Structure 1
Amino acid sequence: MFDPLAAVRTPQDPACDVYLTGTVFLDLIFTGLDSAPVRGTESWARGMGSSPGGVANMATALARLGLRTTLSSAFGDDMYGTYCWDVLAHGEGVDLSLSRTVPGWHSPVTVSMAYEGERTMISHGHEAPPPVTPDPDDPPRARAAVASLVPGERQEWIGRAARRGSRVFADVGWDDSGRWDLAALPDLAHCEAFLPNAEEAMRYTRTPCPRAAARALAEHVPLAVVTLGPEGAYAADGGTGETAEVPGVEVAALDPTGAGDVFVAGFVMASLAAWPLADRLAFAGLTASLSVQHFGGSLSAPGWPEIAAWCHRVHACPPQDPAALCRYRFLRNLLADGTRPAPRRRAVPTIGFRGA
C-alpha cells in the first residue's frame, strides 16, 4: 500500500498513526428516493447498501489512505457485530486489538435514507457495558487522535491522548441544548484542530458567515477548519494568522453519508504529512467528493488508487479549468509512481450469504 507518511517517518515514531474510539453501527443505506418518506405510505428505494457505520466511517477512511489506524470499540456477538469486525479487521486492515466483543449485546443499527442531496437517519441501540478491566494502553501512543466532541461532556481519553503526544483533531455533534457555548466543549483545549461544519461554526461564534466563524474559532484553537459542504472549506490558523479557502470538487452525488468523516480523515492524513494548509483543504475536499459517488459511509471512502485515477482522468481530458489543474498538481507529482486502480469493497444490499 502507498505510504503517504514515508517521507516523514522516523524510527522513534509510534507504531500507531491515528487512534480513535466510539460506537460502531451497522448502517443500512437507501438511495434513489425521489422525496422524503410520507406518513401512511410505502416508499421504494432504487438502491440499497449495508456497511459498518458510526466511528467505522472514520476508521475505514483513515486506513484506506494508508494510515496505521487503531480503533477502540465494542462489538456485539451477533451477525451484525461479526460482519462489522470482519470488514474492519480483515477487509480494511484496521487494528482492533483494543476493541472487544460483548456477549449478548446487540449491535446498534442506523437506517439512512438519501434524497435531494441530503440524508435522514434513524438509529437504534443501547450503550455497551463498560469493560471489566480498562486497558492501560488505551489510548496508545499515536501520532494523532480523532475525537467527536460532545457539548456538555468531558471525555477523559482526549486529555490522556494529548498528554501522550497525540495531535488531536476534533469535530462536534449537534448541540441539542441550543446553547452553543464553546465553554461547554472543555476538551477543545486539548485539540490542535477543530473541524465543525458551517452551521455549527456560526452558531458557536455568533457570526454571520463561515469565514468569520473560522477566524473567531482560531482564537480558541490553534487551527479552525470550517466545512462548506459542496462549496469546499475555509481554514484559519490561530498561530500564524494564515487563512486558506479551497472550492469543492463537483461530482454526481449518490449518497452523502459519511462525507464529513472522510473530509476529516483526508485532512488528518495531509496534516501528518506536513502539507501546506491549502493543499490539506484541497485533498480533504477531494476525498469527501469522491466518497459521495458510492453507497454507504465507511465503504464509500476512496483509497489512493481511486485518487490517482481521478488525477489521471482530470489531467488527461482537456479542456479543464486551469485553476483546478494547478490546484491538484501536487497530487499528480506525489502519485507519479503509477498507482493503479484496484477493486474496493463496497456496501452490499445484504449480509450473511452462506456458501453451498
Structure 2
Amino acid sequence: MKEIDVLIAGTPNIDLIVPPYDALPGPGEEIRVDNMYVQCGGGVAITAIGLSKLGMKTMIYGAVHNDLFGEFILQEMRKYEVKMKTRLSEKSTGLSIALDVDKDRRFITYDGCVNEVMPKDIPKDLLEKTRHIHLTNYRGRIDLEEYLQFIEDAHKAGATVSMDVGWDDTGQWDECLFKITKKLDVFFINDKELMEYTRSAGLDAGIEKLTGFCSHAAIKMGARGSQLLTDGEVIHGKAYSVITLDTTGAGDSFNAGYLYGFLNGLSPEKCLAAANFCGASSVQGYGGYEKVPNLKQLKEELK
C-alpha cells in the first residue's frame, strides 16, 4: 500500500459562478441575479475533491498565494480531506468567472498562479509514494518534452499516469500531443477536442484515428454519454437524464469517477458507469463538486 492513491500536479483556482440569465447588461446598465457561487475550480481541485469523496487518498502538489482566495482553497481542501503540498506564490490566486447567458457558456479567466507548479517540480521521492498521477493544464508543444520525461519518471517509480488534455485556446491543436498519449495509462478528452486534434469531421473518425496513438482513452460527450477506447475496442456509456443546473467541472467529476474504477480494478464498463454517474451528479448543483457522490452512493449506483 502506498501513502497516496492519486497525486495531481497543479494549482486550484477560484470559480465565480453566475446563474443563467437572459442577456448581458448594456453600457451603464445593471442586472440582478438570485445568487452567485464561489467554489474551488479547475481540473486540479474538482478531480481531487471528487476522488476524495470516493474514499481515495488524494494529494495536490501546487502553489498557493497568501490572499483571501488562497485561504479559501486551503479551507476547502481540508474540508474534503484532500492533502496539499504547496509553495507560496507571489502571483495572486487565479479566478474564472463563469457566465451563462441565453444558454451560452462564457468565461472570463485570470490565471494567476495556476501554472506556477508543473509536473517536473514534483520530488522523485513523492512519486515513489504514489499509485497514480493525474495531469492537467497541458499547454501544447511547450510542455511536450517535460511531460514525456515526467511520465517516464512516474512509471519508473511504479505509478500509473492519466491526463485530461483540456481545450486549446491557442487554436493550434498541435498533433505532438499524440507522442504523450502513447505513453499514458489513461487519456481523457471530450468529443470536440478529439475532432480538433485528429482533424476529423466526426466522432467515429476521430476515435478511429486515436486508436493509432492511444490504447486507453475515455471520450466525454456530455448529454450523449461517453465512449471508452480500450485496446482497440470501443464501449459506449449511456448518459443519465438529469436536470442540469451548471456544467462547470462535469468533465473533471467524470474523470474522478473513472479513476476510482480504474484504480480499484473495476471492469471497463463499470469504470465508465462510475464516470458517467459522477459527471451527471455534478451538473445537478452549482460548481463542480458539491453534488458529486460519496463512495456509498456510487457503490449503490453500480449495483
| Aligned-partner residue type, residue 54 of structure 2 | L
Structure 1 residues 130 and 216, CA, compared in 2 at 3 Å: closer, same or farther? Answer: closer
Aligned counterpart in structure 2 of residue 76 of structure 1, from 65, 82, 92: 65
After superposition, what is the alpha-carbon deviation per residue over 1:32-61, rounded to whole angstroms, capped at 9, x for unaligned? x23352542433222321111122111111
Question: 1:315 — aligned with what?
Answer: none
Question: 1:42 — aligned with what?
Answer: 30
Conserved 8 A contact 1:19-1:140: no
Conserved 8 A contact 1:48-1:295: no
* CA–CA distance in structure 1, aligned partners of residues 122 and 214 of structure 2: 30
- TM, length-normalised to structure 1: 0.75
- The answer to whether structure 1 residue 251 and structure 2 residue 239 are counterparts is no
Question: 1:274 — aligned with what?
Answer: 265
Max radius of gyration: which structure?
1
* CA–CA distance in structure 2, aligned partners of residues 248 and 95 of structure 1: 32
Give 1:28-39 correspondences, 5 Å limit.
Answer: 28-31=16-19, 33-39=20-26
| Aligned-partner residue type, residue 88 of structure 2 | T
Aligned counterpart in structure 2 of residue 146 of structure 1, from 134, 139, 153: 134
Cα drift, residue 135 of structure 1: 4.0
- The answer to whether structure 1 residue 52 and structure 2 residue 40 are counterparts is yes
* CA–CA distance in structure 2, aligned partners of residues 176 and 111 of structure 1: 16
More helix by share: 2
* CA–CA distance in structure 1, aligned partners of residues 122 and 163 of structure 2: 23
Q: Which moved more, 1:206-215 or 1:266-275?
A: 206-215
Q: What is the DSSP-based 3-state SS (H/G/I as helix, E as strand, rest coil) of the residue aligned with 2:18?
A: strand
| Aligned-partner residue type, residue 101 of structure 1 | L
Structure 1 residues 295 and 134, CA, compared in 2 at 3 Å: closer, same or farther? Answer: closer
- Equivalenced residues, count: 293
Structure 1 residues 268 and 208, CA, compared in 2 at 3 Å: closer, same or farther? Answer: same
Question: 1:110 — aligned with what?
Answer: 96
Structure 1 residues 193 and 39, CA, compared in 2 at 3 Å: closer, same or farther? Answer: farther
Give the percent of matched residue pairs that are identical in Structure 1 and Structure 2: 26
Q: CA RMSD in A?
A: 2.4
Cα drift, residue 305 of structure 1: 4.3
- The answer to whether structure 1 residue 160 and structure 2 residue 160 are counterparts is no
- TM, length-normalised to structure 2: 0.87
Structure 1 residues 160 and 114, CA, compared in 2 at 3 Å: closer, same or farther? Answer: farther
Cα drift, residue 116 of structure 1: 5.3
Conserved 8 A contact 2:190-2:219: yes
Structure 1 residues 284 and 296, CA, compared in 2 at 3 Å: closer, same or farther? Answer: same
Unpaired segments ≥5 residues, structure 1? 1-12, 312-327, 333-356
- The answer to whether structure 1 residue 65 and structure 2 residue 54 are counterparts is yes
Q: What is the DSSP-based 3-state SS (H/G/I as helix, E as strand, rest coil) of the residue aligned with 1:295?
A: coil
* CA–CA distance in structure 1, aligned partners of residues 193 and 273 of structure 2: 21
